[in-house]
Amino acid sequence: MDIVNWTRSRSVAEWATGFPPLTRRFLLIGLDACLLPLAVWLSFWLRLATPWPTGFLRAGLWMLLAVLLIGLPLYAFTGQYKGLTRYVGSAALYRLAARNALLVLILSALGVMLRLPMPPRSSWLLLWLLLTGFTGAVRFALRDILLSLRVAQTQRMNRVLIYGAGEAGAQLAASLQRSGTHQVLAFLDDAPDLRGRTINGIPIQSSAALAVRPADVDQVLLAIPSLTRSQRSVIVKRLQQQGLSVLQIPSLEDITSGRARIDALRPVAIEDLLGRDSIPPDPQLLGPGIRGAVVCVTGAGGSIGSELCRQIQVLAPRRLILFDNSEPALYAIDQELRASGLEGCELLSVLGSANDSVLVHQLFRSHRVRVVFHAAAYKHVPLVEANPIAGLVNNVCSTRVVCRAAAAAEVGEVVFVSTDKAVRPTNVMGASKRLAELVVQAFAAETVQTPASSRGLRTRFAMVRFGNVLGSSGSVVPLFRRQIKSGGPITLTHPEIIRYFMTIPEAVQLVLQAATLAEGGDLFLLDMGEPVRIKDLAEQMVLLSGLSLRDESNPLGDIEVICTGLRPGEKLFEELLIDGVSEVTRHPLIFRAQERAIPPDQLWHNLDCLETALHAQDKELALALLAKFVPEWNESCSTPSIELN
């Protein structure tokens, strides 16, 4: 379409769609005023096979007048002129059929009561069909005209393919047709019984049609909300190979709950592709020990802690204590949980530090805490490397305070959330988490040696160790997303660095199930799935953003990926075991391991020395002690030699 014709069609569209609502209603009333008498006349003609039958002269004249005097007010009173014509659908047709049936009944009742000449009885059915057909056809025709005129007001629609010819795909196509912003060229679906068929005139093709990118396609809309991660990943990679931009509809949960409309299209997020397909939790492992109990989560405002709170609230504890030293983070999770609408779980938000021994002891005793999930930690490797004293205080000392308070208050169970960076650590953060594990192991060993209290209660201590989680504050995914948003470049430390990834909800779900498996002193490892090359992750995030990579083969691309070199203490790959052997548990993704520990009587004295050094801000002595606690870290760094007593 040239610019002159497009401008002319646009002006016609603006004129046709620019009528005020009152004018549009009068136009519809005028059309109905013509259609009602026409339907009466045709009902006689079709029934008696002549355009001017004798019966029409006797019975038809009063019906022509009555159908206008009764029909138009009836239509207006029942709301026929309130609906928006551009959104007319099947429901409007059903209501129109009911109105016309009522109109026919009123006309026939009027004729009987006033003993007026009556048409043949079959004419009444014919009249109802004609009234419904005429008025319905006019409204559907007007709807299509308005939609086409609305499209003419847009310079160019996005030409799209809908991947998935199921119910979601059909609903998406109908919604896009009403909006007038997209032109659906075809559906893509590999179901053999759908191939070669159509939906509202739109053909259904096999996905093999994308072997070569169609030149007239702008985007592909993924409309299968029930796809697993692996299935979605395969489809998206195949579409990306054709250089096609991919959008997807909301999740099935968001659609069914009403939180999102089916046409709320969004880009495919990297979190939708990474990680394995979710495994349903074991109902015997998820919930026991939490339901009806008082549960405390330290670090409740963090990425892991907040997800722990969300999932624990669903398991119906009697009271959930949110413990964090960050006021904004604590406020955010508190407001989110209170707005969730779940009843029966009392929420208590406590603003304070897990290093505050008096506060933690008082909290556990006064509320009779049953389960503690200790997730409070500093976990950003470069920050802790630059601030080792703060990292050790927060990661190690707080763990000792929490475990000591739990044992004194006869808490039933303490679960420590650890990290794969504690395995043969090459940085202070990893070494501090390994030392925190040694603290938990020492308390577990002491508990076994200590007789149970008069109530028979003995605290169970357990640790859960896992790798990177998608979307956490320490993950590379948010960093890469910010860098892409700012126009790049994406900074990568090494082209061959690999990491394991798991979604936060899945990691937390496994932590909760591991807590049920704990017997005391357990170290649980989570199966992290397949490793991911971080360079591939960065490149895929660029493509998912609808941008192109800038490299030697494409110097005019949008985003460049550059390597800056490994940071101090960073490893090319992470692992979950130090020197132990893992064994299977009742859950296929949770393993139990036994690893080297330091006897409690030896650990406590030297830990006191470490705390003294930390309080004195003696960085050199603190790191020297840390190196002796964690010899694996000592081998990777140069620290003063010191002997443990």
**What does the alpha-carbon distance between residue 247 and residue 235 come to, in Å, rounded to a whole number?**
12
**What does the alpha-carbon distance between residue 348 and residue 267 come to, in Å, rounded to a whole number?**
37
pLDDT at 417 over 90: yes
158-268 and 294-629 share one fold: yes
Residues above pLDDT 70, as percent of the chain = 77
* CB 574 within 8 Å of CB 420: yes
Segments of 513-596 assigned E as strands: 522-526, 531-533, 549-550, 559-563, 582-584, 590-593
Rg of the chain over CA atoms, in angstroms? 35
Banded pLDDT at 2 (limits 50, 70, 90) = very low
Average pLDDT over residues 476-493: 82
Query: How far is the CA of 629 from the CAs of 355, 583, 638, in angstroms?
Result: 20, 26, 14
Domain 294-629 sits in which CATH superfamily? NAD(P)-binding Rossmann-like Domain (3.40.50.720)
**Cα dihedral across residues 167, 170, 171, 172: positive or negative:** positive
Average pLDDT over residues 236-254: 74
pLDDT at 274 over 60: yes
Banded pLDDT at 10 (limits 50, 70, 90) = very low
**pLDDT of the residue at 334:** 94
Query: How far is the CA of 340 from the CAs of 265, 315, 328, in angstroms?
Result: 25, 13, 19
* CB 319 within 8 Å of CB 294: yes
**pLDDT of the residue at 277:** 61
Banded pLDDT at 75 (limits 50, 70, 90) = confident
Query: How far is the CA of 180 from the CAs of 154, 155, 344, in angstroms?
Result: 8, 11, 47
**pLDDT of the residue at 60:** 66
Poorest-pLDDT segment among 341-350, 379-388, 581-590, 624-633: 581-590
Q: Is 91 helix (H, G, I), strand (E, B) or coil?
A: helix
pLDDT at 95 over 60: yes
For the ranges 99-113, 373-387, 480-494, the maximum mean pLDDT occurs at 373-387
Alpha helices in 242-326 (DSSP H): 252-257, 303-314
Please indicate whether residue 565 or residue 617 has the higher confidence score (pLDDT): 617
* CB 628 within 8 Å of CB 642: yes
Average pLDDT over residues 570-598: 70
For the ranges 219-223, 230-234, 241-245, 440-444, the maximum mean pLDDT occurs at 440-444
- For domain 158-268, the CATH class is alpha beta
For the ranges 49-63, 218-232, 572-586, the maximum mean pLDDT occurs at 218-232
Average pLDDT over residues 500-510: 82
**pLDDT of the residue at 231:** 80
Please indicate whether residue 149 or residue 488 has the higher confidence score (pLDDT): 488
The predicted-structure confidence for 28-69, as pLDDT tens digits, reads as follows: 777 777 878 787 777 777 776 666 666 566 666 777 788 888
* CB 55 within 8 Å of CB 184: no
The DSSP string of 120-157 is -HHHHHHHHHHHHHHHHHHHHHHHHHHHHHHHHTSS-P
**pLDDT of the residue at 321:** 95
pLDDT at 151 over 80: no
Residues above pLDDT 90, as percent of the chain = 22
Helix, strand, coil fractions of the chain, as percent rounded to 5: 50, 15, 35
Banded pLDDT at 438 (limits 50, 70, 90) = very high
Poorest-pLDDT segment among 160-174, 206-220, 487-501, 522-536: 206-220
Phi, psi of 432, deg, nearest 5 = -65, -35
The predicted-structure confidence for 79-94, as pLDDT tens digits, reads as follows: 776 655 555 556 677 7
For the ranges 73-82, 440-449, 610-619, the maximum mean pLDDT occurs at 610-619
The predicted-structure confidence for 301-332, as pLDDT tens digits, reads as follows: 998 999 999 999 999 899 999 999 999 999 99
Name the pTM for this structure: 0.64
Average pLDDT over residues 566-572: 60
Please indicate whether residue 287 or residue 204 has the higher confidence score (pLDDT): 204
Boundaries of every domain in the chain: 3-152, 158-268, 294-629
* CB 49 within 8 Å of CB 126: no
For the ranges 53-62, 159-168, 624-633, the maximum mean pLDDT occurs at 624-633
**pLDDT of the residue at 238:** 81
pLDDT at 558 over 50: yes
The predicted-structure confidence for 251-271, as pLDDT tens digits, reads as follows: 656 655 556 666 567 777 676
The DSSP string of 30-71 is HHHHHHHHHHHHHHHHHHHTSSS-HHIIIIIHHHHHHHHHHH
Banded pLDDT at 575 (limits 50, 70, 90) = low
**pLDDT of the residue at 307:** 92
For the ranges 194-203, 472-481, 559-568, 601-610, the maximum mean pLDDT occurs at 601-610
Average confidence score pLDDT of the chain:
78
Please indicate whether residue 77 or residue 317 has the higher confidence score (pLDDT): 317
Average pLDDT over residues 170-189: 78
For the ranges 120-129, 211-220, 251-260, the maximum mean pLDDT occurs at 120-129
For the ranges 13-17, 92-96, 231-235, the maximum mean pLDDT occurs at 231-235
